[in-house]
Chain A
């Protein structure tokens, strides 16, 4: 299996804090990986490095074996990476449909001159409507994106990410802020995304859901990978357990 996403000794330092300290891992095409860790472990920083919002001090980021370390976000998206934001960022003034159409038209928007030569968007409209159906947002096409409730906005983020035909999709806390029903619907949608053959990397605090849906867990702590493997085995590892629950708690439990 080829690597969809590979990090090689990635590190970044902010002032006196080594936020990410030599992270190396490879995600195979078609895998479903959960990236977890306690607060301050460096998850968000790592996500920002993968997304191209931060440039690491050292190390390489590869997408499908192509080095993208020096590329900006837009260029990485064109190499098959899609991402959703933890805090939803739809284009509020546009309709729900247009939010997705814009993503579906990524071939037309590759540069301004190409974009200027293209007007027709019926094909992209159809594709966007299809994707909205997939994530369960049929019927909201004509609404302004800013008027949707949070649960639907979170799904709109997923729909937009799907619109760019990604090979790898990076989901930054897609369940945060959702109630139980909304969260389980969202999990179902993510499962369907994976079933289409798209590689999923999920950053999530909701451990219960992560354990249920991920095939592999990567655990970060203090900017390092402290656990990597099958979810149940990883969580059974005392090092991981300590990082999550704290050493003191474990002793108490044993005593």
Chain B
């Protein structure tokens, strides 16, 4: 594998973790979050500072998980008060706040970010393997949660909190759990990203990136783990393969998003399902 291939596969792995974890919050539990970049960033900064301070990879990973989920649970508390569109707007605000805050902090490197993050010692290919391992674990966890009673209760909370309560389901606790798990994984992705680039700036975690992640979830099929994985891989490769897409990234992603919502609200997952049903019938 060339150095280019290794870096592309690493980025795909990180984006898969981010998209699948966002899908747990927005797809499984129905809490639309447009600030996933902030949790990704919190994890990246926590891991970067831990690496600079101690050089320990396991410690940096734990720090990234904790930073992501602590910020996530705080935002999760907001989800107990505000719902649907208002929650989406609140999470956008959190994302802007995060980037604005980080930019002004000298101890976080301000605009320049954190550079000179010590290498993990695994090499580029080793890092890639670690990222893929975590991506596989995230996908497995997503499938497990979807099958468990937790995923079942998430779907109920996402569809109708009041009706869920009449079945004895404490909607607030489940929303906090969804935010806690999803954002911990976003933090993990941030830590892996810091290992991979060894250099982070606030711009990498902005609102535009959060929208791209939501585009992956919606285009893949909100709630479907496979669909979201396929969309995350595809939408990461697309700008690399086609020069035009790279130049007009936002335009293309925005256009795709509109097309999917208008023509196939279930995303790739539902399209595939319908196709399978049709071929089986004929």
Chain A interfacial positions (CB closer than 8 Å to B): 51, 53, 72-75, 77-78, 82-85, 89-94, 98, 101-103, 105-106, 108-119, 121, 160-161, 163-164
Chain B residues, Cβ within 8 Å of A110 = 168
Measured CB to CB, the nearest residue on chain A to B163 is A89
Chain A residues, Cβ within 8 Å of B177 = 112-113, 116
11 pairs, CB–CB < 8 Å, chain A vs chain B: A51-B166, A72-B170, A74-B169, A77-B166, A91-B163, A102-B169, A106-B168, A109-B153, A115-B152, A115-B153, A115-B174
Tell yes or no: B197 within 8 A of A by CB: no
Would you call B163 and A164 a contact (CB within 8 A)? no
Q: Which of B155, B170, B171, B173 contacts A91 (CB 8 A)?
A: B155
Chain B interfacial positions (CB closer than 8 Å to A): 144-145, 147-150, 152-153, 155-156, 159-160, 162-171, 173-174, 176-177
**Nearest CB in chain B: distance from A198 CB, A:** 16
Would you call B148 and A115 a contact (CB within 8 A)? yes
The 5 closest A-B pairs by CB, nearest first: A112-B177, A77-B168, A115-B149, A115-B150, A73-B165
Q: A105–B152 Cα gap in the complex (Å)?
A: 10
Chain A residues, Cβ within 8 Å of B163 = 85, 89-91
Q: A90-B163, A102-B153, A109-B168 are in contact. List 6 more A-B contacts (CB 8 A).
A: A74-B165, A84-B166, A85-B163, A89-B163, A101-B152, A161-B166
Chain B residues, Cβ within 8 Å of A102 = 152-153, 156, 167, 169
Would you call A109 and B165 a contact (CB within 8 A)? no
Measured CB to CB, the nearest residue on chain A to B141 is A116
Measured CB to CB, the nearest residue on chain B to A170 is B166
**Nearest CB in chain A: distance from B229 CB, A:** 21
Q: A116–B153 Cα gap in the complex (Å)?
A: 10
Q: A93–B154 Cα gap in the complex (Å)?
A: 13
Q: A75–B147 Cα gap in the complex (Å)?
A: 25
Would you call B165 and A77 a contact (CB within 8 A)? yes
Interface of B is mostly: helix
Would you call B149 and A75 a contact (CB within 8 A)? no
Decide yes or no: A105 and B149 within 8 Å by CB, A91-B155, A92-B159, A93-B159 being known contacts.
yes
Measured CB to CB, the nearest residue on chain B to A106 is B168
**Nearest CB in chain A: distance from B40 CB, A:** 23
Q: A133–B148 Cα gap in the complex (Å)?
A: 26
Q: A75–B168 Cα gap in the complex (Å)?
A: 6
Q: A144–B109 Cα gap in the complex (Å)?
A: 54
Decide yes or no: A112 and B173 within 8 Å by CB, A91-B159, A102-B152, A118-B149 being known contacts.
yes
**Nearest CB in chain B: distance from A64 CB, A:** 16
Q: A108–B160 Cα gap in the complex (Å)?
A: 19
**Nearest CB in chain B: distance from A159 CB, A:** 11
Chain A residues, Cβ within 8 Å of B160 = 89, 91
**Nearest CB in chain B: distance from A102 CB, A:** 6
**Nearest CB in chain A: distance from B175 CB, A:** 9
Would you call A108 and B166 a contact (CB within 8 A)? no
**Nearest CB in chain B: distance from A172 CB, A:** 11
Chain B residues, Cβ within 8 Å of A72 = 165, 170
